[in-house]
Amino acid sequence: MAVIHHTTMSPTKMELLTEWLPTQPWYRGGPEAELTKAGGFRLDDPDGEVGIEFMIVTDASSDEPGAYLLPLAYRGAPLDGVDEALIGTSEHGVLGTRWIYDGVHDPVLVARLTALLRGETVAQAQNESDTPDPSVRVRVADLGTAAPVVHRVLPCPVSADVSGTVVVSWQRPDGTRAEGVVASAQGAY
């Protein structure tokens, strides 16, 4: 079970993401991101070593606000072989230095997302310890050897009615709710 610490991080996740997101090839916003946390969920690492968060942010830096899914892996030490996936480091008020990675490159996050799509685990609330998040809807699939796909730019055109999808809602900048597929089983649709 992941423990959510209500403490400080310096720099904050949003500060790190505001710098990192515009450098990504799939980013569609202006030159300087204007991010707001809009939703998301967590998954538990059974070994308790890696924090796993799927954060949804909205970006108001262009005429048409965008939404993005940012899978994040938080580690207490650097992850070997994926230096290009490091978003940054932050000083956590309880846990000390945390290395924050683009989670699609972290094997623990990928394994837990696969487990979610297979129905072997449940999504957890983003801000509460040991609390399932019933708003995250999963259409379980027999993935075989298929790898999960993270849909970074939201909403994604994949239908929520097919097997092997994770559907989440988030808040738009105007206060209304949006919903869409944030991850799917590759080849399952």
Where does the pLDDT of residue 188 fall: very low under 50, low under 70, confident under 90, or very high at 90 and above?
very low
The answer to whether residue 162 is domain-embedded is yes
Max Cα-Cα span within the chain: 43
Which position has the higher pLDDT, 96 or 14? 14
Instruction: For residue 71, tell me if it sits in a domain.
Output: yes
Domain containing 124 equals 9-185
**pLDDT tens, 121-158?**
999 998 787 889 999 999 988 777 777 999 999 988 77
**2 within a domain of the structure (yes/no):** no
- Residue 26's CB is within 10 A of a number of other CB atoms, namely 8
Q: Per the domain annotation, does 154 fall within a domain?
A: yes
Whether 1 maps to a domain, the answer reads no
Domain count for the chain: 1
Domain contains 76: yes
Q: Is the pTM of this model over 0.85?
A: yes
3-state helix vs strand vs coil in the chain, percent to 5:
15, 35, 50
Identify whether 16 is part of a domain.
Answer: yes
